[in-house]
A and B are shown apart, each in its own frame.
Chain A
Amino acid sequence: MGMIIQGATGDWEVVIGMEVHAQVTSKSKLFSGSATEYGAEQNSQVSFVDAAMPGMLPVINEKAVEQAVRTGLGLKAKINKHSVFDRKNYFYADLPQGYQISQFLQPIVGEGVITIDLKDGETREIGITRLHLEQDAGKSIHDQHPSMSLVDLNRSGIALMEIVSDPDLRSPEEAAAYIKKLRSILRYLGTCDGNMEEGSMRADVNVSVRRPGEPFGTRCEMKNINSVRFIQQAIIYEANRQVDILEAGGTVDQETRLYDSVEGETRSMRSKEEAHDYRYFPDPDLLPLEFDDAFIEKIRADLPELPDDKKARFVNDLGITAYDAGVLVAEKEIADFFEAVAKGRDAKLSANWVIGELFGNLNRTGKSLSDSPVSADSLGELIDLIKDGTISNRIAKEVFEEMFETGKAAEAIVEEKGLKQVSDTGAIEAAIDEVIAANQDKVAEYRGGKDKLFGFFVGQVMKATGGKANPGVVNQLLRPKLDG
C-alpha cells in the first residue's frame, strides 16, 4: 500500500527509487590485488594502483565479474555478454585517480525484478533497471585533525555493484522491504555480505511526490544512507518537505541532499552539486568486458535456491503458513537452521519451535542465530522427545529453557530432572484412584451431569504425577473410572 500524504489541497503520492551500492564479496579489489577486509590499518590495503600513482594500470578481477553475473541471475535479469568500463571524471579527496571506473552506457546486467514481501503475506514486484560494476572511493575523516581531513584509501578500488531500481516503490515500508529483500538475495547468493554498518551496503534514495495518477514529480537524491531505519526516516522527512513546498505553491529543485540522522532531516548539498559534468568515456586502459553463454550457464548451474523459491517450497511441500515461511527464509542462515531441524520431522512443529521458542529466547538475550546455545540437531532431538511421548509439550518448554541456558542436550536434562512422561497405566491408575477418593463431592457433581468437571480431574491427576503423566493415557483411564 502506498504512502499518501494528505495536503490541504489534496492527496500526494510518494514515489521512490533506490540505487544500492553493494560491496562485492571478493578477496581482492576490482582492479588491483590488494585486500578488501574491513577494519584494517589506514592505507595498509592499498596498492600503487589504488593510490593512482603515475603509470599504474587496472586489471580486472574475475571474481567481481562472476559475482555480478551471479547477482544478475538472482535478480532474474538480462546478462550483457558485452559491457564497457567507463571513466566517471570528478575531483574529490578520496578519489585518487580523479575518476571512478564505472559502467555507464553498457552495464554488465540489464533489467530484472525483485519481489518484495509486505504485511499480511502480500507481495509486489519492483523493477530493477540495471546493475553495474564500479570502484569504491576511499574514506575521508574530518574530525581527527583541527585543520586537515585525513584520507584513507583502504576502500579505494574495492568492487561495488550498483543496483538501480525502477521508481516503483511507493512508501517507506516498501523501501524497507525492498532493501531487506535485496540484502537477503545477495546473502543467499554470497555476492555481498549485506553488512550496512560496515558500509558493505549503502543506498542512494530518490524521492519525489505527485498527485495520484499524474506524471512523476521532480526528485531529490539522498546519498549513502546505511540503515533501513534511516532510509525510512529520510523518505518520510523528504516527502513531507516536498509536499510542504508544493502546497505552498513552490517548486522542488532536483538536487542531492544529505540525510542527517542526528537531526532527522535532509539538507541540500549544493556545494557538491556545482558543475556536475562527469565526462564519461570508455576507459582506454581497459578493453570491453566480454564472456560467453557457457560462462553464464556455469554460474547459473551453481545458483542456490533463492528466498522466493524456498518460501514457495516451504508453503507447498511442508505445509507451513506463508507468514512463517516468510520469516524462515528471510535469512539463509535461518532457513538452513530450520531445514536442519525439520529434516525427517514434523515441519510445522519444527517451524513453531524455531520461530516461537528459539527466536523468543534469542531476542530476549540479544543473541543472533550464529551464537545460539541450542543447535539445530539438539532442537531436533527435543522435538523427537515430544513426538515419541517421552515428554509433554509443556515439559518440553521447560527443557528448552534449560537447554538454552546450559547448552545441554534435551535427553540429558529430561533424565537428570526425571521429567520423563509417565505412561505406565498402573501408576496413573493409582493416581486417579487417589484423586477420586479425595474429591468425592466433585465426582458426584460430575456424575450428576456436570461434564465440564472432567478437565478439573485431568488437572488434579497431572498435578499428582508432577506433570509427568502422559495426558493421552490419563484421558483414556480417567473417563471409565469417573463414569463408574
Chain B
Amino acid sequence: MSLDKATVAKVANLARIRVEEKDLEPLAAELNSILGWVEQLGEVDTENTAPMTSVADMQLRWRTDEISDGGYQEDIVANAPGHEDGFFAVPKVIE
C-alpha cells in the first residue's frame, strides 16, 4: 500500500487540514516511509487474536439519569472566537 499525491490530498481533506499543492509530494514520501515501517505488523500472526478493546480490566459504569450539569451559557461561549447572543457564530452554512 503506497500513498500517492491524490490520496494525501484526499486524506488531508478528510482531516480538514489545508495542504499546499507543493507539500503533497514530500508529505506522501514521509507518510509512505512511516507506513512502510508499519507493514512489519503483517509478520504477527493475529488469526485468533481479538483486538484490544479496553486497557483496564473493568466494566463500563453507568450514570444515573439526573440533571447534574449545564446551565452556564456564558462559560460555554466564553472562549469562542465568534459568538452572538449566546450562540456560537460560524461562517454561514448554505444547505
Direct contact between the two chains A and B in their complex (CB within 8 A)? yes
Contact flags (1/0) for B1-28 with A, using CB distance below 8 Å?
A: 0000000001001101000000000000
A282 to B68, CA, bound (A): 27
A151–B66 touching, CB < 8 Å: no
A45 to B70, CA, bound (A): 5
Contact flags (1/0) for A34-58 with B, using CB distance below 8 Å?
A: 1100000111111111110000000
Q: How big is the B interface, by class?
A: 35 or more
A65–B62 touching, CB < 8 Å: yes
Closest to A26 in B: B65
* Known pairs A27-B65, A61-B62; A51 contacts B14 (CB<8 A): no
B89–A151 touching, CB < 8 Å: yes
- Residues 55 to 95 of chain B near chain A (Cβ within 8 Å): 56, 58-71, 73, 75-77, 82, 84-95
> Which of A34, A62, A148, A272 is close to B70, meaning CB atoms less than 8 Å apart?
A34
A149 to B88, CA, bound (A): 8
> Which of A43, A64, A258 is close to B76, meaning CB atoms less than 8 Å apart?
A43
| A298 partner residues in chain B, CB cutoff 8 A | none
Any chain A CB within 8 A of the CB of B53? Answer: yes
| B86 partner residues in chain A, CB cutoff 8 A | 41-44
Q: How many A-B residue pairs have CB under 8 A?
A: 134
| B85 partner residues in chain A, CB cutoff 8 A | 42, 150
B60–A149 touching, CB < 8 Å: no
Closest to B55 in A: A284
Any chain B CB within 8 A of the CB of A126? Answer: no
* Known pairs A62-B62, A142-B92; A46 contacts B67 (CB<8 A): no
B73–A43 touching, CB < 8 Å: yes
| A147 partner residues in chain B, CB cutoff 8 A | 91-92
Any chain B CB within 8 A of the CB of A279? Answer: yes
Q: How far is the CB of A206 from chain B (nearest CB, A)?
A: 20
B73–A46 touching, CB < 8 Å: yes
Chain A interface mostly helix, strand, loop or mixed?
loop
* Known pairs A149-B90, A287-B54, A288-B53; A61 contacts B65 (CB<8 A): yes
| B60 partner residues in chain A, CB cutoff 8 A | 60, 286-290
| A275 partner residues in chain B, CB cutoff 8 A | 10, 13-14
B14–A277 touching, CB < 8 Å: yes
| B93 partner residues in chain A, CB cutoff 8 A | 93, 140, 142, 149
A287 to B62, CA, bound (A): 11
Residues of A at the B interface (CB closer than 8 Å) are 26-28, 32-35, 41-51, 59-65, 84, 91, 93, 140-142, 145, 147-153, 258, 269, 272, 275, 277, 279, 282, 286-290
Task: Pick 17 A–B contacts, CB within 8 A, sort by A.
Answer: A28-B66, A28-B67, A34-B69, A42-B73, A43-B77, A46-B76, A140-B93, A142-B93, A142-B94, A148-B89, A148-B91, A149-B91, A153-B76, A258-B95, A279-B14, A288-B54, A288-B60
Known: A46-B73, A148-B84. 5 other contacts (CB 8 A): A26-B65, A45-B70, A62-B63, A150-B84, A287-B60
